[in-house]
Structure 1
Amino acid sequence: MIFREYCEFIEALYNIRYSRMTNSEKNTYYRNIKESYDSFGKINEDFEEIYNEIMTGAVCTLGEEDLSILRKYNGLLLSISRLLKLNIKIHYLDNCPYVEKIYSLRSNGDRFHCLQCDNKDKNLFFSFISRDQKITYCKRCIDFGRSDDYFIKFHISIPMFDLEIPKLPSVKLSDIQEEASVSLVRNIKNGNSTLIWAVCGAGKTEIVYAAIYQALLSNKRICLAIPRRDVVKELIERFMRDFRGYPISVLHGEEKILEDSNFYIMTTHQLVKYYNYFDVIIIDEVDAFPYSGDECLENGARTSLKRGGVFVFLSATPSDKVKSSVEEIVKIPIRYHRYLLPVPKIKIEKAEVFEFSKKSKFIQEFITSSLEKKRRVLIFVPEIGMCESAVLYFKKILPEKVLIDFVYSEDKQRSEKVQRFYNREIDILVTTTILERGVTFDYLDVLVFDANHINFTKAALIQISGRVGRKDYDNSGDIVFLADKISKDMKAAVKEIEYMNNLAKYRKLNRGRV
């Protein structure tokens, strides 16, 4: 099934073989390709073998070793060019019961449906004529490879057998985490999608362990997808440790490890490449950029789900769209340490403060007080361009001994600066929303600068507030939304945090309850 060396004549053969041409037209082109090959003058044994097999109609079958190679590409829609990069003799797939040849774009008159990203918007398709043949492709997901109605793609789905199941990871769950875990296992068994709506720091990851374990026991294919690559990397380490011995396929922009496995961890971008494959898809941080609001990623996730499969969404700030898409919402309004969430305070300052033209006595007193208590301060600004200006502004109103730095998404020293803040080598770190989630610092206070800016949505403000009080030994702290006027998102964020606290008290989940 594997050939040794890529050759453009081999690709030409396969493009003709899997085109919409008649057999007569194909034979004409085959001969033309062979004449071009002969005149080229360089011998390629792989081309000659493939050409002879195609022309004689040889029936080629796959052995167990071949299936083992292909199994790693289960679920993907593989184009001819992608298969050739893998040096696979494509005609060997024709008689394999585990390989389906499909067009990733389906048409019905002037209506189209993209199987790659689930697009049905006629304005997002483009048609052109090539050699008297009309070809239509999807513009929305073009970055993931062209999805059209002319070139066949190969969908591989080879069953996995005899995978050694790991032991159930030993994690200690609180009573409310255990209830959520049991509900999740039951819902997956019954084919119901679930939203785990849990406050920041509630321990959402541990809740899905039993569901993943039960899915693997049942030989189900399961995917844990996360919008951000750095979180994927963190979770890989945890699952490799806790599901020790079980192979896990890992896919993100910097790494692709494909194993003989029913368990995948990947970014949501990678999920778009799969089709009708997963029995269970868990999307963590479903509200996060770049997944949330991107129809290509959201719908692409749906096309990767097997018919009858279920979604599990994990979020502290789910959208109404996500809430309405599931059969059950499981709310966890308290953190693992069972202390109530710190509630943000709103402070109004004059507009000149946010233009860095007027000193703020409040900021000076807030930071000074925090540092005197041996705490550190994370200051969020709404735009990258404000970071450096904010640092200069804060340096003017604070003593020279106070160490201040800034970090943003494209900062080449991002990891080093965050680590220095962890190590308390920096007193104040100015940042954008890049640190609104996925980081835990103890003894932390937070200031949101220009909090009514459009970039500080309700979800972002809740996530930012969730950075404070995450440790059992440091379960509280100050959060201030500083602005020249109060926005709807600021009020909504405070209201939702108070709602979760009230729900926790009503359900008698918090420590020190009356």
Structure 2
Amino acid sequence: MGQIVIRDIGIPAIRFGICQRCLSADTRSFMCHHGACRYCRNCLHLGRLCQCDFLGEEDSTTPVESTNLVMPFELLADQKHVSRQLLIWWKSQTSGLVHAVCGAGKTEMAFPVIERVVNEGKRVLIVSPRRDVAIEWAERLERAFSVPITRRYGGGDKDTIDMITVATAPLLLNLKHVFDYVLVDESDAFPFAFNMALWQTIRRAGRGVFLFVTATPTVWQRQFPTIHLSRRYHGHDLPVPTLVKKTDEAIITFCRRETPRLLFVPTKADLVRYGEWLEANGFTCKAVSADTNERTDVLEWLETTNGIVLATSIWERGMTVRGVDVAVLDSEHVLFTSRGLIQMAGRAGRKPDAPTGDVVFFYNERTFRQDRAIKAIEQANRR
């Protein structure tokens, strides 16, 4: 158990075209100091691994220690019910799914079971789909727990493993059988969705109980024992999207509101196109995509200035702004799945002092994905 590292002797790093560090078959021929060789492209960010290298394991875990938990707020009755179920699943070593609506307070509901696992001398892993979400998890955990939190994502710590680790999946590629409790946050999101290599990586890093947490589970995740939470922690309904035929006048009317406005677009090219169009109509806006380095700065700007932000689906999860109104431009686009539309709508009304917000799906044509997203939100409100 531990971290897979390059050694002078051990198992061959690449066997039969398969990388033994990350189990990828994406190997390419090149010339190394031994002559003709192959190297793995999938885990290149962990250092180049050649066919002539050897692999071994080393224990990079810190000494076992216990923790104290300071809850940031008292859980409500429904949240306590979910939290108790997580403790039951841990005791029986059962993997399961928490199907909770956007803004239900999923993070804090997991704190009691994390405390239990750590105080039994076991290690916890929280896997996040994106660095932004991982940072938010790490900050909340550091405020609540007394043990150090390992940040295993871009810019974080990759050398040691504490009792609690927050990571993105690509930085788990060289870990094997380290964690006793693995919580996969937003488990249906990109890059998790349909990426079997990443799921194999997560499975190999763990060795005990797996917990999947999301508001929009996939079909295979629904096969696990499931607990539902259909209300947000402040008790208000989820904002139900309104379908509006897309016209220039309708978009301009939406953008003239005096609240923070978040407009989702399908692609990075649409960021440029709509950004130029909005500026030509007298609006100041900022754009967010996977290439935006300081997304936290844009988030603060949006909330403090009541501004307008154009974003790709990179912001469909893991961001919260008080009082934001949400619009999805070209909501019929093939890149906007029903799960994605639900998550985008879930950005509105997340704060207890601003529990409502408008969500508009602008469309050129109606699709079943729009209708399915609206129906799922209405069903959650009726539970």
Q: Answer whether TM exceeds 0.5 for this pair.
A: yes
Name the CA distance, whole Å, in 2 between partners of 1:118 and 1:362: 50
Paired letter, 2:175: Y
Q: 1:214-235, CA deviations, whole angstroms, 9 ceiling, x for partnerless residues?
A: 1111111221111211222222
2:94 to 179, 192, 208: 192
Match of 1:305 in 2: 206
- Report the CA distance shift for 1:390/1:495 in structure 2 as closer, same or farther (over 3 A): same
Following TM superposition, by how much is the alpha carbon of 1:471 offset from its aligned partner in structure 2, in angstroms? 1.4
Q: 1:400-431, CA deviations, whole angstroms, 9 ceiling, x for partnerless residues?
A: 4x54333333235644333211112x532222
Name the CA distance, whole Å, in 2 between partners of 1:378 and 1:418: 10
Match of 1:216 in 2: 118
Query: Is this contact kept in 1: 2:129–2:187, CA < 8 A?
Result: yes
1:486-501 alignment, distance < 5 Å: 486-501=366-381
Match of 1:329 in 2: 226
1:165-180 alignment, distance < 5 Å: 165-170=66-71, 171-180=73-82
Following TM superposition, by how much is the alpha carbon of 1:321 offset from its aligned partner in structure 2, in angstroms? 2.6
Match of 1:378 in 2: 262
Paired letter, 1:466: G
* Higher helix proportion: 1
- Report the CA distance shift for 1:259/1:235 in structure 2 as closer, same or farther (over 3 A): same
Following TM superposition, by how much is the alpha carbon of 1:208 offset from its aligned partner in structure 2, in angstroms? 1.1
2:238 to 341, 352, 355: 341
Match of 1:480 in 2: 360
SS at match of 1:269: helix
1:405 to 266, 282, 286: 286
Following TM superposition, by how much is the alpha carbon of 1:393 offset from its aligned partner in structure 2, in angstroms? 2.5
Query: Is this contact kept in 2: 1:283–1:311, CA < 8 A?
Result: yes
SS at match of 1:481: strand
* Higher strand proportion: 2
Paired letter, 1:263: I
Name the CA distance, whole Å, in 1 between partners of 2:284 and 2:271: 15
If you compute each CA radius of gyration, which structure gives the higher value, 1 or 2? 1
2:197 to 296, 301, 318: 296
1:142-181 alignment, distance < 5 Å: 144=46, 151-157=53-59, 163-170=64-71, 171-181=73-83
Q: 1:379-411, CA deviations, whole angstroms, 9 ceiling, x for partnerless residues?
A: 1111111223213323455xx4x5433333323
Paired letter, 1:383: T
Name the CA distance, whole Å, in 2 between partners of 1:413 and 1:219: 37
**1:364 and 2:252 aligned:** yes
Following TM superposition, by how much is the alpha carbon of 1:125 offset from its aligned partner in structure 2, in angstroms? 7.1
Query: Is this contact kept in 1: 2:299–2:321, CA < 8 A?
Result: no
Following TM superposition, by how much is the alpha carbon of 1:469 offset from its aligned partner in structure 2, in angstroms? 0.8
Match of 1:279 in 2: 180
Q: 1:444-463, CA deviations, whole angstroms, 9 ceiling, x for partnerless residues?
A: 21111101111211222111
Match of 1:262 in 2: 163
Following TM superposition, by how much is the alpha carbon of 1:290 offset from its aligned partner in structure 2, in angstroms? 2.4
Q: Where does structure 2 lack aligned partners over 5 or more consecutive residues?
A: none
Name the CA distance, whole Å, in 1 between partners of 2:56 and 2:319: 41
State the structure with bigger RCO (CA 8 A, min sep 6), 1 or 2. Answer: 2
2:104 to 202, 214, 232: 202
Query: Is this contact kept in 1: 2:99–2:226, CA < 8 A?
Result: yes
- Report the CA distance shift for 1:393/1:247 in structure 2 as closer, same or farther (over 3 A): closer
Paired letter, 1:363: I
Following TM superposition, by how much is the alpha carbon of 1:168 offset from its aligned partner in structure 2, in angstroms? 2.6
Match of 2:6 in 1: 79
User: Matched residues, percent identical?
Assistant: 29
**1:446 and 2:326 aligned:** yes
Name the CA distance, whole Å, in 2 between partners of 1:320 and 1:310: 20
Name the CA distance, whole Å, in 2 between partners of 1:166 and 1:416: 32
Query: Is this contact kept in 2: 1:450–1:484, CA < 8 A?
Result: yes
**1:394 and 2:275 aligned:** no
Name the CA distance, whole Å, in 2 between partners of 1:160 and 1:443: 42
Paired letter, 1:182: R
Match of 2:315 in 1: 435
Name the CA distance, whole Å, in 2 between partners of 1:296 and 1:142: 15
Paired letter, 2:103: G
Match of 2:151 in 1: 250
- Report the CA distance shift for 1:185/1:115 in structure 2 as closer, same or farther (over 3 A): farther
Q: 1:467-487, CA deviations, whole angstroms, 9 ceiling, x for partnerless residues?
A: 111112221121111111112
1:317 to 211, 216, 225: 216
Name the CA distance, whole Å, in 1 between partners of 2:108 and 2:229: 13
2:136 to 214, 230, 234: 234
Match of 1:49 in 2: none
Paired letter, 1:78: V
Query: Is this contact kept in 1: 2:80–2:109, CA < 8 A?
Result: yes
SS at match of 2:244: strand
Match of 2:301 in 1: 420
Following TM superposition, by how much is the alpha carbon of 1:144 offset from its aligned partner in structure 2, in angstroms? 4.9
Following TM superposition, by how much is the alpha carbon of 1:501 offset from its aligned partner in structure 2, in angstroms? 1.4
Q: State the TM-score, normalizing by the size of structure 1.
A: 0.67
Paired letter, 1:436: E
Name the CA distance, whole Å, in 1 between partners of 2:113 and 2:329: 40
User: Greater shift after overlay, 477-486 or 284-293?
Assistant: 284-293
Query: Is this contact kept in 2: 1:117–1:297, CA < 8 A?
Result: no
1:61-100 alignment, distance < 5 Å: 75-80=2-7
- Report the CA distance shift for 1:105/1:485 in structure 2 as closer, same or farther (over 3 A): same
Name the CA distance, whole Å, in 1 between partners of 2:143 and 2:324: 29
Query: Is this contact kept in 1: 2:61–2:160, CA < 8 A?
Result: no
Name the CA distance, whole Å, in 1 between partners of 2:57 and 2:271: 47
- Report the CA distance shift for 1:76/1:379 in structure 2 as closer, same or farther (over 3 A): same
Match of 1:60 in 2: none
Query: Is this contact kept in 2: 1:452–1:483, CA < 8 A?
Result: yes
- Report the CA distance shift for 1:142/1:164 in structure 2 as closer, same or farther (over 3 A): closer
Following TM superposition, by how much is the alpha carbon of 1:113 offset from its aligned partner in structure 2, in angstroms? 7.2
- Report the CA distance shift for 1:339/1:156 in structure 2 as closer, same or farther (over 3 A): same
